[in-house]
Amino acid sequence: MDIAKDPINVLQITDTHLYAVHSGTLLKINTHGSLSAVLDKVSSNEGQIDLILATGDIAQDASPSSYQHFMKYMERFDAPVRWVPGNHDSGDVMQEVAGELGLSNKVELIGNWQFIMLDSSRINHVDGYLSAEELRVLETALKEAEADPRIEHSLVTLHHNPVPGSSAWMRDIGLRNDREFLALLRRSPTLRCVVYGHIHQALDFKLAGIRFFCTPSTCIQFKPEVIDFALDSVNPGYRRLKLFADGSIESEVIRIDGSQFRPDFASAGY
Ligand SMILES: [Fe+2]
């Protein structure tokens, strides 16, 4: 994937929560249907796509079929796809389904940007944790970036939020070893941004000189700044990240139109 590009056009598609069966619904939203609507929006809005990052909760049921469905959906775009597991996923099943296609690769280079894909999931836990092995992948890649003159900028992606969400109920579902993670990032002169999903909302903020992006799910949305679980009425969408050779970033969340995908607002959880 080592091609000179300026800017690199990256799309983030997250929390698709697909089921093996196309009729599967999450809080009354048909997740296949809402993903298809988001992908139609991508098709009508985007030109050349250089990379698609699928940042976890790709499946709701962790079935091989749900991952095969996702890969099939991605075939309409002429772009490489990289995915990381979320709390609803199985990293092992994802790797198996991906086969030799490289979707589960940990590190990629496009132009002078390095992409580091981390697995923050652990079985039967909603919250996230980066194992010693994942932290080693991160540390090695960031060190490599310092030594390799081709790499000037790094982007790190994972499913779980490494910064607490703004709603009280989200306090305990984020990345548990966030301090360790952030300490590694702060030491890196090439680290520019962190891209994640999990809390189903649009966020774009700076912390310690690093830009953080969280992106709406392609199905249900979580309301920010509330005490108890609540759904938001904003539409599903995706994020576009334009990564420039000078390290600057332009980003935008694009949502579908209409009111076709409305969840069950009375729900007390998901
Ligand atoms: Fe999710």
Span from the CA of 217 to the centroid of ligand 1 (angstroms): 7
- Residue 168: per-residue pLDDT: 85
- Can you tell me the distance from the alpha carbon of 58 to that of 66, in angstroms, rounded to the nearest whole number? 8
pLDDT score recorded for residue 1: 59
Q: Cα of 87 to ligand 1 centre, how many Å?
A: 8
Report how far ligand 1's centroid is from the alpha carbon of 157 (Å): 15
What local confidence, expressed as pLDDT, does residue 128 receive? Answer: 97
| Residue 16 counted as domain residue | yes
CA–centroid distance, residue 107 to ligand 1 (Å)? 23
For ligand 1, the distance from its centroid to the CA atom of residue 159, given in whole angstroms, is: 9
Q: Which pLDDT belongs to residue 57?
A: 97
Å from CA of 60 to ligand 1 middle: 8
pLDDT of residue 4: 63
1 lies in a domain?
no
35: CATH: 3.60.21.10
Domain count, the chain: 1
Ligand 1 mean position to 67 CA, how many Å? 15
In a domain, 270, yes or no: no
| Residue 3, pLDDT score | 56
Q: Is residue 262 part of a domain?
A: no
CA distances from 238 to 63, 124, 175 (A): 23, 27, 22
Between the CA of 149 and the centroid of ligand 1 the distance, in Å, is 37
Q: Could you tell me if residue 77 is inside a domain?
A: yes
200 Cα to the center of ligand 1, angstroms? 6
153 Cα–ligand 1 center, Å = 28
Q: 261 in a domain, yes or no?
A: no
Residue at 165 is within a domain: yes
Cα dihedral 51, 55, 61, 65, rounded to 10, equals: 10
- Prediction pTM value: 0.96
Alpha-carbon gap, residue 46 to 59, rounded angstroms: 25
CA distances to 101, 135, 147, 243 from 49, rounded to whole Å, are: 18, 29, 28, 12
CA 75 to ligand 1 center in whole angstroms? 22
Report pLDDT for 266.
79
- Kindly write down the DSSP assignment for every residue of 27-83, as one continuous string: TTEEHHHHHHHHHHHHHHH-S---EEEE-S--BSS--HHHHHHHHHHHTTSSS-EEE
CA of 102 to the centre of ligand 1 (A): 23
CA of 152 to the centre of ligand 1 (A): 32
Q: Residue 254 Cα, ligand 1 centroid: separation in angstroms? A: 18
Distance between Cα 202 and ligand 1 center (Å):
13
199 CA distance to ligand 1 middle (Å) = 7
CA 15 – ligand 1 centroid, Å: 4
Please indicate, yes or no, if residue 118 is contained in any of the structural domains.
Answer: yes
Residue-by-residue pLDDT tens, the chain, 270 positions = 555 678 999 999 999 999 999 999 999 899 999 999 999 999 999 999 999 999 999 999 999 999 999 999 999 999 999 999 999 999 999 999 999 999 999 999 999 999 999 999 998 899 999 999 999 999 999 999 999 999 999 999 999 999 988 888 888 899 999 999 999 999 999 999 999 999 999 999 999 899 999 999 999 999 988 888 999 989 999 999 999 999 999 999 999 998 888 888 877 777
What range does the domain containing 172 cover?
Answer: 8-255
